[in-house]
């Protein structure tokens, strides 16, 4: 009997070791490919279908893995609980404030993407090397594609054929900078941050200057001002941490000078040409010329841009005491904005237009209750990661922290609550960073030498 129990225990240890050493990294790599390559168009602009059934399929396939690694998910229980509470606030708000013109597309999209991708991130966060590896592949492949595209076409902005190299189909009715470049810039910035974080302590000073300059110039050609500015800020912040403040200042001045040269000498580069493009083809023209009411924020002085969307969200949020507390209802921003721009938004009931800032969106649609719930979700991991990474961190810890910071930044300038699956994934990853982990025995039953694993990058020993 004792022999049988010993055999069973040995088999269980071997299965656990196999799961930890093989299934875990494979799961993390799979989840990272799904999130980061999905964000880089492969499923976003070239989906398996027009619907979201592929998301449901992925959830079903990965559910057994999530159950197997349930102990890892429970280590992020505070953030997980905050996210569930936020989901409950949205769900109740939607059904209390909805009217006949609402549909549930935006709500179900949020529920399908937020919790499942958080779970993926919480599990994958225990094997950050797999996440980093995927991003290395991403930044490497897209960097090569950028070089090939530039030498083949001569100019990335004018060469719409650049999308053929990246296998990015043209989205009908969308401007070329948005279809071909913008989200690629986000992926390039994500990958570049990781590459720099991993190599920062090994590069000499001149290499930091060269790396920052090359990435900054590349991002000016890819078409996302948000990705460019966030990359520069994150890059300089981490440079000040790992090197010296003096070096960070010198690199920052160099990057600013290069960006100025590109803006002046190459005004048709993708990033800087967007301002002229949107001014020329502006479609957001409001009903009046003064900003005295919510429905007047689109007058000609503002034109199409973040200013219009942000201003409308702020004025609508503070329209009355009830909207300050409870908002207008989840998914209502599109429909209310359609009253101001009726010839622009054709299907407003699906939540397809949003303020491009998740805090303002929460305020407008959910009120102060929603804003507090949202801050409770994304705030604690961000604060804890900033403290931990600033005091003492390895390259992997630094990379995890910066990826989450980058995702939060993008959500503040281009994000929507229902679509930010890369933020929810990195929220899960960040939530398990720095949390004392459970004890694991080695497969051979040896003593637990590495008793407490302080953060994901320390998970290098077998169970």
Per-residue pLDDT tens digits for 340-360: 655 554 444 555 678 889 999
Query: Is residue 444, in this structure, part of any structural domain at all?
Result: no
pLDDT at position 325 is: 92
Query: Is residue 337, in this structure, part of any structural domain at all?
Result: no
Enumerate residues 6+ apart whose C-beta is below 8 A from 274: 177, 223, 225
pLDDT at position 223 is: 63
Q: Give the separation between CA 36 and CA 135, rounded to whole angstroms.
A: 7
Dihedral (C-alpha) 356, 171, 111, 120: value to the nearest 10 degrees?
-100
Query: Is residue 346, in this structure, part of any structural domain at all?
Result: no
Summarize pLDDT for 115-140 with one digit per residue, the tens. Answer: 888 988 888 887 877 777 777 776 67
pLDDT at position 359 is: 94
Query: Is residue 328, in this structure, part of any structural domain at all?
Result: no
- When comparing pLDDT for 373 and 449, which is higher? 373
Query: Is residue 184, in this structure, part of any structural domain at all?
Result: yes
Assess contact for 387 and 369: CB atoms under 8 A. no
Query: Is residue 331, in this structure, part of any structural domain at all?
Result: no
Lowest-pLDDT choice from 143-157, 296-310, 448-462: 448-462
pLDDT at position 12 is: 66
Q: Give the separation between CA 218 and CA 301, rounded to whole angstroms.
A: 32
Count of domains in the chain?
1
Give the burial class of 431: count Cβ atoms within 10 A of its Cβ; 0-12 exposed, 13-18 middle, 19 or more buried: buried
pLDDT at position 395 is: 66
- Domain containing 159 equals 2-280+356-430
- When comparing pLDDT for 352 and 113, which is higher? 113
Share of the chain above pLDDT 90, in %: 9
pLDDT at position 261 is: 72
Whether pLDDT at 318 is above 80: yes
Share of the chain above pLDDT 70, in %: 53
Question: Taking Cα atoms as reference points, which of 434, 407, 400, 410 lies closest to residue 423?
Answer: 407
pLDDT at position 307 is: 74
Query: Is residue 330, in this structure, part of any structural domain at all?
Result: no
Question: Taking Cα atoms as reference points, which of 365, 363, 354, 378 lies closest to residue 118?
Answer: 378
């Amino acid at each position: 009997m004792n022999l049988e129990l010993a055999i069973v225990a040995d088999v269980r240890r071997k299965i656990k070791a196999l799961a930890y050493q093989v299934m875990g990294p494979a799961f993390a790599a799979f989840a990272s490919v799904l999130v980061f390559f999905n964000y880089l168009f492969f499923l976003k602009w070239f989906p398996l279908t027009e619907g979201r059934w592929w998301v449901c399929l992925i959830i079903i396939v990965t559910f057994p893995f999530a159950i197997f690694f349930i102990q890892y998910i429970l280590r992020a229980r505070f953030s997980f609980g905050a996210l569930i509470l936020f989901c409950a606030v949205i769900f109740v708000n939607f059904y209390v404030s909805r009217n006949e013109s609402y549909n549930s597309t935006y709500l179900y999209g949020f529920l399908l993407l937020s919790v499942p991708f958080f779970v993926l991130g919480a599990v994958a966060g225990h094997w950050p090397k797999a996440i980093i590896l995927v991003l290395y592949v991403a930044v490497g492949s897209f960097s090569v594609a950028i070089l090939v595209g530039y030498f083949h076409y001569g100019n990335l902005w004018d060469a719409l054929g650049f999308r053929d190299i990246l296998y990015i189909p043209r989205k009908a009715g969308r401007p070329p900078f948005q279809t071909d470049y913008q989200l690629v810039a986000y992926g390039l910035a994500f990958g570049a941050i990781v590459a720099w974080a991993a190599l920062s302590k090994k590069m000499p000073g001149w290499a930091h200057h060269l790396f920052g300059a090359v990435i900054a110039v590349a991002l000016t050609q890819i078409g996302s001002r948000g990705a460019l500015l966030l990359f520069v800020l994150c890059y300089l912040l981490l440079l000040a941490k790992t090197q010296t403040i003096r070096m960070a200042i010198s690199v920052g001045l160099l990057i600013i000078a290069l960006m100025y040269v590109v803006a002046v000498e190459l005004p048709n580069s993708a990033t800087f040409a967007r301002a002229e493009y949107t001014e020329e083809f502006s479609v957001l023209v409001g009903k009046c010329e003064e900003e005295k009411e919510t429905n007047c924020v689109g007058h000609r002085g503002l034109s199409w841009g973040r200013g219009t969307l942000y201003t409308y969200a702020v004025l609508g949020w503070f329209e009355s005491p009830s909207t300050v507390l409870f908002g207008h209802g989840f998914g209502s921003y599109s429909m209310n904005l359609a009253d101001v721009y009726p010839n622009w938004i054709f299907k407003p009931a699906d939540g397809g237009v949003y303020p491009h800032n998740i805090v303002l969106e929460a305020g407008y649609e959910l009120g102060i209750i929603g804003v507090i719930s949202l801050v409770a979700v994304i705030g604690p991991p961000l604060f804890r990661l900033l403290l931990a990474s600033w005091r003492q961190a390895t390259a992997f810890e630094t990379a995890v922290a910066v990826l989450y910071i980058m995702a939060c930044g993008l959500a503040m300038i281009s994000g929507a609550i229902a679509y930010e699956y890369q933020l929810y994934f990195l929220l899960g990853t960040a939530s398990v960073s720095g949390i004392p982990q459970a004890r694991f025995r080695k497969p051979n039953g040896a003593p637990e030498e590495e008793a407490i694993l302080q953060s994901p990058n320390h998970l290098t020993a077998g169970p």
